[in-house]
Amino acid sequence: MEKNHAKAIISTGFDAVIIANGDYPSHPIARAIIEKAPFVCCCDGAAMAYMEQGRMPHAIVGDGDSLPQAFIQQHASIIHTSSEQKYNDLTKATRFCVSKGYRRIAYLACTGKREDHALGNISLMAYYKRTMNVQPIMFTDHGYFMPAQGTQTFQSMEKQQVSIFRINGETLTSEGLRWDIYPFSDWWEGTLNEAIGETFTIHSDGEYLVYQTYEIKQSKPI
């Protein structure tokens, strides 16, 4: 991983960080984003994992079903519960942050554990951008997901692994990737691409998700 690229990711200005109840982050970049967060909102049970790190969230949001009653009573001043079941705790936390004026939001601990939850959380990044005017980035222990629309240029590094997931739209082309992309009909078709320089550009008339790894692909020894 190039230090300059890692520093650029960490220094990205976020208004808030939302921590879900997946696997707690272990990668240095993901941990650094949490440590530098100006506002931390935990989804229900994620609060206990966060507090085990010796920290206190600014808010805990969810339906409260994964929190012990004693914990709820002890931290009642920062717990905000919502019993409606149409939307998950990640969406409830996002709405809470948006209500406070936060739009640039980093999401962590959204993957691991159940795969259906992970897929749902990843797809929500595009939903939040479209319906709430949020600028979300989801960080995992291997890389990060960013929703986009239309033409957008992304910072990268040579040999960085990149995957593009088309959500909708009729056109999809690229510049700066090793393999030209096209309007994929299945998500797997956009995986395992590679940046050839410090930026790449995607052109589309619709929405798509971009995944970029922290580390570059290492050449195998001969």
Token pair, residue 30, equals 């993901």
Token pair, residue 33, equals 């984003």
For helices 115-132 and 89-99, the axis angle rounded to 10 degrees is 30
Rounded average pLDDT per 10-residue block, the chain, 222 residues: 61 88 92 93 89 91 79 85 80 96 96 91 96 96 96 95 96 96 94 96 97 82 48
* pLDDT at res. 153: 96
Cα 119 to Cα 110: distance, rounded to the nearest angstrom? 9
Q: Which residue has the tokens 């272990």?
A: 26
Q: Residue 153's beta-bridge partner residues?
A: 201
Exposed / middle / buried, residue 86 (Cβ in 10 Å: 0-12, 13-18, 19+): exposed
Q: Residue 194's beta-bridge partner residues?
A: 161
* pLDDT at res. 168: 95
Cα 184 to Cα 111: distance, rounded to the nearest angstrom? 24
- What does the domain layout of the chain look like in residue ranges? 3-141, 147-216
**Can you name the CATH fold of 3-141?**
Rossmann fold (3.40.50)
Please, which residues have CB within 8 angstroms of residue 124's CB and are 6 or more apart in sequence? 88, 90, 91, 94
* pLDDT at res. 222: 47
Q: Cβ–Cβ contacts within 10 Å for residue 64, how many?
A: 18
Please state the φ and ψ torsions of residue 139, each to the nearest 5 degrees. Answer: -105, 135
CB 17 within 8 A of CB 11: no
Cα 136 to Cα 108: distance, rounded to the nearest angstrom? 11
Which pLDDT tens digit goes with each residue over 108-154? 999 988 999 999 999 999 999 999 999 999 999 999 999 999 999 99
